């Protein structure tokens, strides 16, 4: 298995390599660090050395310089050539520490990539392996692909899988009866998803959380997060088949998360990440 890592000699490049090392560590996956430039720009000779020095010693990695019209197209082409399972990039450099602001590269990938895209928050510097995978499971078309990626990845890594459904509760909803009615469809759905995941993974490896609040941000903030966690979400139903399009809910989740996030293309089929 191979992951393409979008490298730049800055903080975003370091964040991307740190996340790539964490994800790859329990997979025996290889990293391909790709530095995309245009034909008019030639980087210094020490760029490759500095990039590879950031990779953990127990993770195999290679480096290549790629000339392309855009960073996004260069990474996607490299991923296609490598038959990569994942593209990993850092968030925009002007974001809050360990939070996301989607820059032009990440935004371009989130609208065009045919493979899952992993986003590292600014300042991400974890070195230890992942401790838990969280799948955000909505009720719209595409949730099955996200669940499949999550269960396969959790099983392969031998880490717990948490299933989370996020529900916005109308601020005018006062009684517990009205709140239960609002949550009922989500409860039924997550129980269905839980049964599917439990059929693949040991029961003690799958947990369920129904998060709710007056808005997505409040619901996300109310969930406990581990430093070694990775969140997996799906693409909007508006996405082209086998492409990523980040919908409004996923965008809100992204901007509220304190941990890395993987976005899975619509109708994506794979052996996990």
pLDDT one-digit tens code per residue, 120-179: 988 899 989 899 999 887 656 667 778 888 888 888 888 999 988 776 555 544 445 445
CATH 3.40.50.620 domain position(s) in the chain: 2-120, 132-264
Element containing residue 164 per DSSP (H, E): strand 161-168
Low-confidence stretches of the chain (pLDDT < 70) are: 40-44, 92-103, 138-142, 167-187, 189-190, 194, 202-204, 235-251, 266-267, 269-271
| CATH superfamily label, 2-120 | HUPs (3.40.50.620)
Residues making up the chain, counted from first to last: 273
Pair 86, 115: CB distance under 8 Å: yes
> SS3 for 216?
helix
**Of 85, 89, 86, the residue nearest 72 (C-alpha):** 89
Q: How do beta strands 206-213 and 261-264 pair?
A: unpaired
Fold of 132-264: Rossmann fold (3.40.50)
**Residue in this structure with the two tokens 């794979």, named with its chain if needed:** 270
Give the Cα separation of 215 and 251 in Å (integer). 13
**Residue in this structure with the two tokens 């129904």, named with its chain if needed:** 210
Burial of residue 113, with CB atoms counted within 10 A of its CB: 0-12 exposed, 13-18 middle, 19 or more buried: buried
């Amino acid at each position: 298995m191979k992951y393409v890592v979008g490298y730049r000699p800055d903080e975003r490049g370091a964040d991307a390599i740190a996340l790539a090392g964490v994800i790859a560590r329990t997979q025996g996956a290889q990293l391909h660090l790709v530095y995309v430039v245009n034909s008019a720009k030639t980087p210094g000779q020490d760029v490759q050395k500095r990039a590879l020095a950031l990779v953990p010693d127990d993770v195999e990695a290679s480096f290549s310089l790629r000339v392309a019209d855009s960073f996004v197209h260069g990474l996607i082409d490299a991923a296609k050539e490598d038959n990569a399972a994942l593209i990993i990039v850092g968030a925009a450099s002007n974001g809050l520490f360990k939070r996301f602001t989607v820059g032009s590269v990440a935004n371009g990938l989130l609208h065009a990539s045919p493979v899952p895209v992993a986003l590292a928050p600014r300042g991400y510097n974890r070195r230890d392996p992942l401790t838990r995978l969280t799948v955000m499971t909505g009720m719209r078309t595409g949730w099955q692909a996200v669940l499949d990626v999550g269960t396969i990845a959790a099983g392969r890594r031998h880490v717990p899988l948490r299933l989370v459904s996020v529900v916005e509760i109308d601020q005018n909803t006062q009684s517990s009866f009205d709140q239960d009615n609002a949550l009922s469809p989500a409860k039924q759905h997550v129980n269905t998803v839980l049964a599917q995941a439990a059929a693949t993974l040991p029961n003690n490896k799958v947990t369920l959380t129904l998060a709710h609040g007056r808005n997505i941000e409040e619901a996300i903030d109310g969930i406990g997060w581990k430093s070694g966690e990775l969140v997996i979400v799906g693409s909007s139903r508006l996405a082209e088949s086998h492409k990523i399009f980040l919908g409004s809910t996923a965008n809100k989740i992204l901007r509220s998360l304190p941990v890395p996030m993987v976005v899975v293309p619509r109708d994506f089929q794979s052996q996990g990440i």
